[in-house]
Amino acid sequence: MAHGIPRPVEDADSRPFWEGCREGVLRIQRCASCGRHVFYPRLLCPHCFSDQLSWVEASGAGRIHTYTVVHRAFGPFQADVPYVVALVDLDEGVRMMTRILGDRSSVRIGARVRVEFVEADEGLVLPYFRVMDEATAS
Ligand SMILES: [Zn+2]
């Protein structure tokens, strides 16, 4: 656990997401008007501008869209370089920036990943992902 990392602003729009992370549940929004999922948290649907967004539990599974390996820490709170930053496309159709845990040799574009919740700082739980075993990935 790293102390003093920059923290997200937890506001009325994003609080259910952060509460979900602390509970080990990946929550995203879904629009009742057009049926599409929405991430990051917001007030209006970016597809149809409806305000009929509600919170749903995501599957926690997705696929790596792209990634990079960070070798240089950008703050004193980051001692754990190198690490992988990725854009993950959840099965629900939304894209999330995250970190990929585990063996870097298994990280590749298109790899199936599953969410794991990590307490990155006291009270700050972040949704990271790990590449699934080939046998269980689907
Ligand atoms: Zn919509």
Residues 6+ apart with CB under 8 A from 55: 16, 17, 20, 27, 28, 29, 30
Residue 30: the pLDDT is 98
CATH fit for domain 59-138, picks 1.10.1660.10, 2.40.50.840, 3.10.580.10, 3.30.365.10: 2.40.50.840
51 CA → ligand 1 middle, Å: 8
Taking only the tens place, the pLDDT of each residue in 110-124 is 999 999 999 988 889
What local confidence, expressed as pLDDT, does residue 136 receive?
66
Residues of the chain with pLDDT under 50: none
Domain ranges of the chain: 8-58, 59-138
> Which residues crowd ion ligand 1, with CB under 5 Å?
31, 33-34, 45, 47-48, 50
- Given this model, what pLDDT does residue 126 score? 96
Distance CA 47, CA 3 (A): 38
pLDDT digits (tens, 9 = 90+) for 12-27: 999 999 999 999 999 9
Would you state the structure tokens that stand for residue 16, as one six-digit string? Answer: 């259910």
Report how far ligand 1's centroid is from the alpha carbon of 13 (Å).
16
